[in-house]
Amino acid sequence: MATIAEKILAAHAGRESISPGELANVSVDVVLANDITGPISIKEFRKLGVSRVFDPAKVVMVPDHFIPNKDIASAIQAKALRDFSREQGLVYFETGRAGIEHVLLPEQGLVGPGQVVIGADSHTCTYGALGAFATGMGSTDIAVAMATGDIWMKVPPTIKFVFHGQLQPWVGGKDLILHIIGDIGIDGALYAAMEFHGKAITSLNMDGRFTMANMAIEAGAKAGIFPVDAATEAYVAAHPPTSGPRPIVSYTTDSDADYSRVIEYDAGNIEPCVAFPHLPSNVKPLSQAGTVPIDQVVIGSCTNGRLGDLRIAADILRGQTIHPDVRCIVIPGSQRVYGDALDEGLLRVFVDAGAVVSTPTCGPCLGGYMGVLAPGERCLSTTNRNFVGRMGSPQSEVYLAGPAVAAASAIAGRIAGPAEQPSTRQEVPER
């Protein structure tokens, strides 16, 4: 009968059941904003005539986009976020104890299965990896939710994606989601919830699932949701909440749920994928990428800035040298990822190979700072968007891929697969 999305929304609307297309007022478990969207939310919140947020333990502010402050203007925005968070007693993460919001919140135990999470950031859908209904909205919606604790939503239809079979070596979550977006297009799941199933999904670790849920928005979706399984439960247990309670309920889709579409793939046929400029849907399998010389590689972001991603990149870069014509920038997604990568010696591998290792930040992902491209330059990036001008000059190009292809390309100086690297011919790390 009902999909996971429908069950979560029904429960949060105080209803027995709810159907796609219905409008409902749903209560929210977590409301999120960042240093770009937060200042507008705060300004709009002030206009509402309420003095306090509905529940300070459920409102999270993360400065991450232009952090550490890149200029005076961004410092003013970050200060607005900090001042408001202090005034209201919100959950706030200061630079040096923070990270990219969508890496940070799951890790801090602030989001979990069965929750409704809304954030003034389109990649809020990342938390669907934990079986939450999480979706991005704009600053004004967030302002209203901060005041009232609820928000209107239209219940989306759900599209089911099934990956049969086993993943090929070096194929991970990024490749699966790029494959889907390449197949259905950047509005292929417009207004819908995507639900991921199949043997290859069950075998995917949480980092890979976060990557997939993260890019649901790149297919136009409202949410990307994974059923809760042993891997989810283990992750949730290992990441207890650092502040406030975390209500968790695991919902499963009914066997006779009404999907608007069911799309099936054989994972065994999927190669590492690369999205060519200037759309995330302009996807080619690596074998058809041809010879594309590159100037820069970025490994990081809320898509692929987790420990598992850095491990894959380090396995390929260990003992190797970045190509003389390439700048390689590695950005751990959070302070915790940074520390763990330090302990595991991964940062040493990157530094020795000739890469820049940065403090956690969004930075180059949105062309903010630190890695901005000149006209005519090309970057292969593990981020999630390659629109015109996304990483700098409108005459630059961004290619999207997973961490394995990124690391291998940094060595080769052109888009390349890990299979070409001598250090990796023997072993394939666990994903």
Report residue 82 as tokens. Answer: 């900090």
Q: Which stretch binds ligand SF4 (CB under 6 A): 3-11, 315-323, 358-366, 373-381?
A: 358-366
Q: Which stretch binds other proteins (CB under 8 A): 64-72, 102-110, 239-247, 314-322?
A: 64-72
The answer to whether residue 100 forms part of the interface with ligand SF4 (CB under 6 A) is yes
Q: Between residues 366 and 428, which has the closer beta carbon with respect to ligand SF4?
A: 366
Cα–Cα distance for residue pair 134/271, rounded to 1 Å:
29
Residue 181 has, within 13 A of its CA and on its CB side, a CA count of: 32
CB 333 within 8 A of CB 103: yes
Q: Between residues 9 and 331, which has the closer beta carbon with respect to ligand SF4?
A: 331
DSSP-assigned beta bridge partners for residue 162: 197, 264
Name the minimum Å distance from CB 384 to ligand SF4. Answer: 5
Name the minimum Å distance from CB 47 to other proteins. Answer: 5
H-run or E-run covering 106: helix 101-107
- Considering only residues 19, 88, 148, 203, which one is a binding residue for other proteins as defined by CB under 8 A? 148
Name the minimum Å distance from CB 247 to ligand SF4. Answer: 25
The answer to whether residue 327 forms part of the interface with ligand SF4 (CB under 6 A) is no
| Runs of H (alpha helix) within 139-241 | 139-148, 173-184, 199-202, 206-214, 230-238
Name the minimum Å distance from CB 383 to other proteins. Answer: 12
Among 150, 130, 129, which Cα is nearest to 54's? 150
Name the minimum Å distance from CB 288 to other proteins. Answer: 22
Q: Which stretch binds ligand SF4 (CB under 6 A): 135-143, 361-369, 401-409, 421-429?
A: 361-369
- Considering only residues 362, 398, 401, 415, which one is a binding residue for ligand SF4 as defined by CB under 6 A? 362
Cα–Cα distance for residue pair 411/405, rounded to 1 Å:
10
Phi, psi of 231 (to 5 degrees): -65, -40
Q: Which of residues 113-152 bind ligand SF4 (CB under 6 A)?
A: 121, 123
Cα–Cα distance for residue pair 381/398, rounded to 1 Å:
7
Binding residues for other proteins, how many (CB under 8 A)?
Answer: 53
Determine the 3-state secondary structure of 348 from DSSP.
helix
DSSP-assigned beta bridge partners for residue 27: 150
Q: Which of residues 196-255 bind other proteins (CB under 8 A)?
A: 220, 222
Phi, psi of 34 (to 5 degrees): -125, -170
- Considering only residues 47, 291, 375, 422, which one is a binding residue for other proteins as defined by CB under 8 A? 47
Q: Which stretch binds other proteins (CB under 8 A): 103-111, 132-140, 247-255, 332-340?
A: 132-140
